[in-house]
């Protein structure tokens, strides 16, 4: 099975750049401390890199 990433929103998007808000929404995160599981691929890694100050990432 392919590796997965567990992504948790740990900081609010209030006051952040519109691009960062769109990235968080595209990752499927809406509320604080919400967690989603996404496949580990270069596209996801790039999205996470843009908002790494707002999320916590774990490999599962």
- Give all domains of the chain, ordered by start, each with its CATH number: 4-59 (3.30.1390.20)
Instruction: Give which of 26, 27, 28, 34 is closest to 9, Cα–Cα.
Output: 34
CA distance linking residue 6 with residue 58, whole number of Å? 5
What is this structure's pTM? 0.91
Q: Is the pLDDT of residue 49 over 80?
A: yes
- Tokens found for residue 23: 């990235």
Q: Measure the CA angle with vertex 33, ends 31 and 60; round to 5°.
A: 120
pLDDT digits (tens, 9 = 90+) for 18-44: 999 999 999 999 999 999 999 999 999
| 41-55 mean pLDDT | 97
Predicted local confidence at residue 24, as pLDDT: 98
Residue 2 binned pLDDT confidence (cut-offs 50, 70, 90): low
How many C-beta neighbours within 10 Å does residue 24 have? Answer: 23
């Amino acid at each position: 099975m392919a590796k997965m990433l567990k992504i948790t929103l740990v900081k609010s998007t209030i006051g952040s750049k519109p691009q960062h808000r769109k990235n968080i929404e595209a990752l499927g995160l809406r509320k604080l401390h919400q967690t989603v599981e996404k496949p580990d691929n270069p596209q996801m890694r790039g999205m996470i890199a843009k908002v790494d100050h707002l999320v916590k990432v774990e490999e599962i």
